[in-house]
A = this chain, B = another copy of it.
Amino acid sequence: MPVQYSTPPAEALKPVRGIRLGCAEAGIRKKDRRDLTLIDLAPGSKVAGVFTQNRFCAAPVHLCRRHLARGDIRALVINTGIANAGTGEAGMIAAEATCIAVARLLSLAPEQVLPFSTGVIMEPLPVDRLERGLPACLEDLEPENWHACAHAIMTTDTVAKAASRQISLDGQSVTVTGMAKGAGMIKPNMATMLGFVATDAAVSQAALEAIVREAADHSFNCISVDGDTSTNDSFVLIATGLAGNPEIDAMDSASARALLAAVTEVAAELAHAIVRDGEGATKFISVEVSGGRDRDECRAVGYSIAHSPLVKTAFFASDPNLGRILAAIGNAAQLHPSLRDLDVDRVQLWLGNVLVAADGGRHPAYREEQGASAMQPQEIAVRVNLGRGAAAATVWTCDFSYDYVKINADYRS
C-alpha cells in the first residue's frame, strides 16, 4: 500500500501532441501481464536523458547514451521482466537486436530507437519474445494510452505512477505528461527506476538537456528508498515541438522557466510516488536542509539522514530519536568533505514545527511528548538548518519496516 498515493484517473493524463503509446503482453518473463511498451515520437521530436551513475550499468543504458548522442530519436521501447544488466557482450547484442526489431516495424534506423529494460538482473533478454510482442504494441498506439502504459512498465510497484500538467506558453497551451516505475532498488534483482516525461513545447536541444538535468536534480536525484543506485535508472524527457510556441532556447527566458517548473512538478510528483510506494514504506519523510554553503552539502546532509537505517527504523517506530538524526548529520562529512568543518553548535533541528535541537544539544524547551506526536503522521518533515549559508536542498525518503526485510529477504520468485 503506497503512503497516501493513488494513480490519477486516465482522463487526468493529458495526451501530448506527437506522442503515441502502446503496450502488449509479450510473455518476456511471466505470462498474462503487459510487459512491453512502445512510444512513438513525431518527426522532429527532441529527446534528452539522464542515466544511472552505476559502473555496472545495463546494456540498454549504454545504447541509450550512444543513440542520444546521435539525435533524431523516433521511438522508445520498454520491457519489464528482464533488466538486461550484468549480461556482458551478449546483453549489448540483445539490446541492439531490440532496436533493430523496433526500427524494422516503424521504418526507422536502429539508432533512432531508445531501449529500456527493467526486471531481473543477470538473466538473458529473450529478444525473440520481445520481437513477437511488438506488432500488438504497434496496433495499440494511441495518444491517450498513458494510463495503460504506466501500468505496463510496473514491476514490483504496487501502484502505477503518472502525472500531467498544462500551462500556457506565449499564448499557446502546452502539455507535460509523464509516467514512472520504481519502488526501491527493488525486490530481489528487480531494477529499477524509469521515468518518461513528454511535452509538446518547442524547445532547443540545449535547453531540453538543461531542463532534464535540472528537473532530475530536484526530483529523481533527491529521493532515496534504500540508498542503492540501480544499474538501469533512466529519466528521459521528450519535446515534440507541436504546441506552436516560439522555440525555447535561452534558459533565462520566462517561458523556459515556466516549462522547467512544469516538468519539475511532474517529475517530482513521479519521484514522490516512487518513495510513497517504497518497499514496506509506512511513512513519507521530507528532509529539508537549509543554511548550507551550497546545495551539494545540503543534499549530503539530507542523504546522510535519509540513508541511515537507524533513523529509518526510528521513523517506523514513531520514536523521536534525536540522537540518531544528529549523529547522521555529524556523519555527512563522509559524503561531502566540505562538511568536515561543520560547527554543530550552530545546527538547528526541527521535527515538523517543533525545534528539538540547537546549540549542540537538545533544545531546553523541547519535551519528548512533542517529538513523539510529531513522529505520528504518515507525512513528516525533518528540518535542519546548518547555520552557515543560504543554500538549501530537500531529500524525500520513507521509513524502514519489517516488510522491507521481508520483501528483500524473500527468495526471487
Contacts and interface: CB of A to CB of B under 8 A. Distances in A.
Given A121-B327, A310-B408, A359 B88 contact: yes
Interface residues of A, number: 69
A168 interface: no
A408 B323 CA distance: 13
B231 A55 contact: no
B405 A55 contact: no
Contacts of A308: 226-228
A139 interface: no
Nearest to A411: B319
Contact of A231 (B231, B319, B327, B411): B327
A362 to B, nearest CB: 5
A401 interface: yes
Given A185-B310, A316-B409, A411-B317, A122 B334 contact: no
Interface in A201-253: 226-231
B361 A87 contact: yes
B405 A316 contact: yes
Interface string A316-342: 110101111011111111100001101
B228 A56 contact: no
B319 A409 contact: yes
A380 interface: no
A86 B323 contact: yes
Given A55-B344, A339-B55, A323 B405 contact: no
A357 interface: yes
Given A55-B342, A327-B228, A330-B57, A189 B321 contact: yes
Contacts of A406: 402
A359 to B, nearest CB: 5
Given A55-B339, A85-B327, A314-B408, 8 more contacts: A55-B342, A88-B361, A121-B323, A121-B324, A188-B319, A229-B327, A231-B326, A313-B408
